[in-house]
Structure 1
Amino acid sequence: MQIKILVTSDIHGYMYPTTYLKRHENQDIGFAKCASVIENVRKNSASEDLVLVIDNGDFIQGSALVDFLFRKGNYQVKELVQAENIIKYDAAILGNHEFNYGRKYQEKINSYRKHPILCANILDDDSKPYMGKAYEIFEEKGVRVAILGLTTQYIPHWETQENIHGLYFKSAVQTAKEYIPRLRKIADIVIVAYHGGFEANENGVATEELTGENEAYELSKIAGIDALITGHQHRKIATFYNEIPVIQPGYAGEVVGAIELEYKDSVITKKTAKLLSTRGIDPNNTVINLLESDNKDTEEWLDKSVGVLDKGFKLTDVASARLHGHPFIDLMNYFVREATGVEIVASSIFNNQQPGFAQMVTMRDIKANYPFSNTFAVLEVTGKDLLAALEQTAMYWDEEEGRIVVATKNGRQRIPDFNYDVYGGIDYTINVSQPQGKRITNLCYQGHKIVPEDTLKIGLSKYRAMGGGDYQMFDASKIISESEFEVSEVIVQVLTQNKKISPKNLPKNDYNVLL
């Protein structure tokens, strides 16, 4: 008997094969293509096989389509969930981004779903699983398979208190150790589906949790687990850890994860882990047709003009912009300043594909440059906190043969692009030739040297203000205010109110990266 576990994860609302960066894309991504891959596996499986399909979280937030549906109000999500139900999931796991639009929105979506949502380690006031179920048992020809759902415990570091009030977040490892012995008594096969990923040690090897955000490697060491599903990090992983198959199926529907277990005479005789690509696959027509009207409205909304800028805000060399500064960064910091009313602000260039802004700005341009549902917040911090944050962001750089390069560690980038912040409203220098932790020099505000005892107000994205990106010097206790509007709405408001913003009119700071 073959047991096939098919997994989507981190779909993030990408139902169509498009990134929405431009019209008429046909990319090798999207839920509709995943649906076709899953349908093909089902058709080609033997009648005695058990095929289980799991979504591993972060389904409802992320793309321009789901952002548009949320903005329409009145929770108009029926077609979205009807499209999801086409796959006939056996279960889904709660992801951290499921909370972004609020509990009422999440619960409305769940009311249309035809499959259970599993999460054992997010508990309500009665210490019971918030979603009602910790696990599900599936039986085929006398073989019982248990799926235990777990979610990263790090959600309180990112999410607003309003969206998680009354919920308690336990370690996934601690929770698994409580459930696995019980499940082994009632099931023949136990699979853990965890919306979280892997930390890595200094040698780049997956290891026990370092922050608590990603506990997958520790999970893989727990006796009694036959297979491990992971997500959250948007990586493509199909491998074995501690002799159990492990998958992580990427981002936005680029692949479907597949774990296959051969089961004979009460023993698993063979295990495989692989990724099934959506490349060249035709999307599921039923999904496409269900969401056709919503997708058309989304495209029209994205093409709506919202303002005009002067020349100079296009990004043609992102690496140079991070290294030397750029009017685009000044502009993003200007938006933060307008939303928060404070002088010291910070922003990031999230990835190397960000286009910057042309003179005529549309909603599509805004979403391309700021794709997240986020707000701005004001932190009250000490000079010591600010220096620590700058030293952390300075770890992005390294020196190689007399050149400044992006730092790597065991073949991986040390600091992700979206965690490299450029500050406005202060003057500072990053001296890459100095040891990490001692790189920031000439740190001044309004002509005065910043000292550890200073009290400062700084404007940041809510994600960073909550400590996102492992900026442990920041946290919710230091937030003193938050902007009312999401970042994209702030950008629209500023562009509408300012007829023409020019690079030469934006505040500048003395920002240098040198050897």
Structure 2
Amino acid sequence: METFKLVLLETSDIHGNVFPQNYGTNEKAELGIAKIATLIKQERALNEHTITIDNGDIIQGTPLTYHYARFQQSLPNPMITILNDLNYDAGVIGNHEFNYGLGLLNQAVKESSYPWLSANIVDTETGQPYFGNPYLIKSFPDGPRVGILGLTTKYVPNWEKEEHIRGMLFEDTIATAEKWIKVLKEEEKVDLVVVSYHGGFERDLETGEPTETLTGENQGYELCMKVKGMDVLLTGHQHRQIAGNKINGVLVVQPGCNGLTLGKVTVEFHKDESGFRVVEKDSELLVVDGVNADQDVLSSIQTYEDAVQEWLDQPIGKIKGDMMITDPMAIRLGDNPLIEFINNVQMDAAGVDVSNTALFDNISPGFPVDVTMRSVVANYIYPNTLVVLRVTGKIVKDALERSAGYFELLDDGTVGVSKEFTTPKPQHYNYDMWEGIQYELDIRNPVGERVTKLDYDGKNLLPDQELDVVMNNYRSGGGGDYMMYKGRPIVKDIPIDVSELIANYILEYKEIEATVNNNWKVVY
């Protein structure tokens, strides 16, 4: 009996990480696609038959990609250059592919020597896949036919600017998978069905119990349970590290983010008179710790890197006082100079007196005395713009209750982070802090009953009282389960990246005083 071994290699959520470094500190880090490239080349040397797929969120996420998008668009996209040189077989459209605008995305797709797959993003006029390719067929001499179907989380319209996705409809992944897998099986006669889905799992992989609000953002579990004919499901979006798991017989894998690991799926076929059939399949994650970065990859974009490093080290102003972060939890428990400053920048840009923002992660360093562009991008890591929404006092209270759910009171009286904001991935960016209102959150109370004070201009904010509030575009669209903002009137749209607004503000005022007015606090 003839046997055939196939190895699938998956990257996902690389987010512009190439060099093994942290741009905020310029220190070395065990991550990046240059290290992944070394692993890919090693696997290809060991295995005769391989397929390499990027599962999305490749062209956005670091100062390298930001600088390219803002200042170097006339040049080839550095991330696409790398994937082309590594001979990727296919890519999938991720939600962050849209962040820099449709022009840049279309340019990236055009430059790619591999197809971009997304069967459920369709043209609103033709109903056909917007990016042209629902799937890819990969065949091998005297080997099996492999069908690779691409899918993107249908939740993109809840986050992205309308002009960045104009002309597109994001269809349900379940119905789309059923439609195209039937084509792969009955018309294309494939021996293996691989679904590469830029989305994750909304349920526990073992029990099927919900692990998050079932919004349809992450339909991986549902795909495995409802769609017949899948053999392998490659996932991403949630930045989880998953390997070795099967759901309803479907092998699943997810390789984390930022180039920390390479997903590897090994499939063994037997061939008999009826053709090829799968007899064994398994998955693992290959970590980059201790792996040398591929010098060809680094060299291919060195000129981009030199330009971004020069830009990052440009001095733009000074801080008078302390805006550094030593304890991220302390930042979230009471008013502080860094968050107050970012809110002040947003209010200045928008011309309103109420604002909210978040401390996006637990590695933001804060602003040192001498501020550079590196300081700005280290603290404001997303390409958000600003939106002014007209909301009511009730909506403000509902939003504060959503944020207050971030905390849980531990048995020893200390404060921890609720699993809803940590599992299946950290969501520190979904806890907002406000300026322009006065409020208190008492986390000794049950979730949903924690707002114990809410004033505006020294008076109790009434439920039907209207305020104009500036926030980032992700939040204004309901991102982070802030659905109370959906459909509210947009008073003003400010199409300039917040990081750019922060830099411009510092350049204008030269010296920024670290101030705090203690307009809010968390009681525990």
| 204 and 173 in structure 1: CA distance in 2 versus 1, 3 angstrom threshold | closer
Partner of 1:195: 198
| 5 and 413 in structure 1: CA distance in 2 versus 1, 3 angstrom threshold | closer
SS for the counterpart of 2:184 is helix
- Normalising by structure 1, we get a TM-score of 0.95
Cα offset, 1:367, TM superposition: 0.6
Partner of 1:213: 217
Partner of 1:356: 366
Partner of 2:99: 100
| Maintained 8 Å contact 1:336/1:460 | yes
Gaps of 5+ in 2: none
Residue deviations 1:435-492 (CA, integer Å, cap 9, x gap): 1111101110001111221111111111111111111111255322122321111011
Partner of 1:403: 413
Q: What are the within-5 Å matches in structure 2 for residues 223-234 of structure 1? A: 223-234=228-239
Partner of 2:155: 154
Residue deviations 1:45-100 (CA, integer Å, cap 9, x gap): 1x4xx310000011111111111111214432255422221210111101111111
Q: What are the within-5 Å matches in structure 2 for residues 43-54 of structure 1? A: 43-45=45-47, 47=48, 50-54=49-53
SS for the counterpart of 1:77 is coil
Gaps of 5+ in 1: none
Partner of 1:429: 440
- Normalising by structure 2, we get a TM-score of 0.93
Partner of 2:127: 127
SS for the counterpart of 1:85 is helix
> How far apart in 2 are the matches of 1:105 and 1:194?
22
Q: What are the within-5 Å matches in structure 2 for residues 73-84 of structure 1? A: 73-84=72-83
1:368 maps onto 2:367 in alignment: no
251, 254, 260: which one aligns with 2:266? 260
| 346 and 78 in structure 1: CA distance in 2 versus 1, 3 angstrom threshold | closer
Residue deviations 1:273-292 (CA, integer Å, cap 9, x gap): 11011111111111111111
Partner of 1:444: 455
Letter in structure 1 aligned against 2:219: E
Cα offset, 1:250, TM superposition: 0.9
1:457 maps onto 2:457 in alignment: no
| 201 and 339 in structure 1: CA distance in 2 versus 1, 3 angstrom threshold | farther
User: Which deviates more, 112-121 or 199-208?
Assistant: 199-208
Letter in structure 1 aligned against 2:215: T
> How far apart in 2 are the matches of 1:153 and 1:223?
20
| Maintained 8 Å contact 2:5/2:269 | yes
| Maintained 8 Å contact 1:209/1:218 | no
Partner of 1:514: 523
Partner of 1:42: 44
SS for the counterpart of 1:199 is coil
Letter in structure 2 aligned against 1:196: G
Letter in structure 2 aligned against 1:354: S
| 342 and 204 in structure 1: CA distance in 2 versus 1, 3 angstrom threshold | farther
1:7 maps onto 2:10 in alignment: yes
> How far apart in 1 are the matches of 2:421 and 2:509?
45
Letter in structure 1 aligned against 2:521: N
240, 244, 248: which one aligns with 1:242? 248
Partner of 1:324: 334
> How far apart in 1 are the matches of 2:420 and 2:161?
35
Cα offset, 1:499, TM superposition: 3.0
Measured on the aligned residues, the alpha-carbon RMSD in Å equals: 2.0
User: Which deviates more, 197-206 or 370-379?
Assistant: 197-206
Cα offset, 1:6, TM superposition: 0.2
> How far apart in 2 are the matches of 1:481 and 1:230?
36
| Maintained 8 Å contact 2:421/2:427 | no
> How far apart in 2 are the matches of 1:416 and 1:83?
30
Residue deviations 1:170-199 (CA, integer Å, cap 9, x gap): 111121122222212221110100001111
Stretches of 4+ moved more than 6 A in 1? 201-204
| Maintained 8 Å contact 2:56/2:92 | yes
Letter in structure 2 aligned against 1:278: V
| Maintained 8 Å contact 2:155/2:216 | yes
> How far apart in 2 are the matches of 1:355 and 1:208?
29
Residue deviations 1:291-314 (CA, integer Å, cap 9, x gap): 111111111110111111112111
SS for the counterpart of 1:336 is helix
Question: What's the % identity of the aligned pairs?
Answer: 37
Partner of 2:325: 315
> How far apart in 2 are the matches of 1:278 and 1:209?
32
> How far apart in 2 are the matches of 1:324 and 1:478?
30
| Maintained 8 Å contact 1:379/1:459 | yes
